[in-house]
Amino acid sequence: MISASHNPFYDNGIKLFGPDGFKLSDQDEAVIESLMEADLHDRLAPPEQIGRASRLNDAAGRYVESAKRLSRAACGLMA
């Protein structure tokens, strides 16, 4: 997630989350930070091995419907 702040620009940043949806540990973040400061030229994937993004039509509407469905399920209101 990219965070933005009403504070000065240096307070903005990128927050990384694990597959469980929780923020990474300080130790994991330190490893990533050290990798970002290192020479990664030989460790980067070639372009043909990188995933592609695609536009999701009606993403906002799909998100709302999913949130409503999950909320009903959490409240036991399956309908």
> Which one of the listed residues 3, 5, 25, 66 is annotated catalytic?
5
Phi/psi of residue 23, each to 5°?
Answer: -60, 145
- To the query of whether residue 5 is one of the catalytic residues in this protein, the response is yes
Element (H, E) at 13: strand 13-14
Amino acid identity of 60?
A
Burial 56-74 (b: 16+ CB within 10 A, else e): eeeeeeeeeeeeeeeeeee
Active site residues: 5
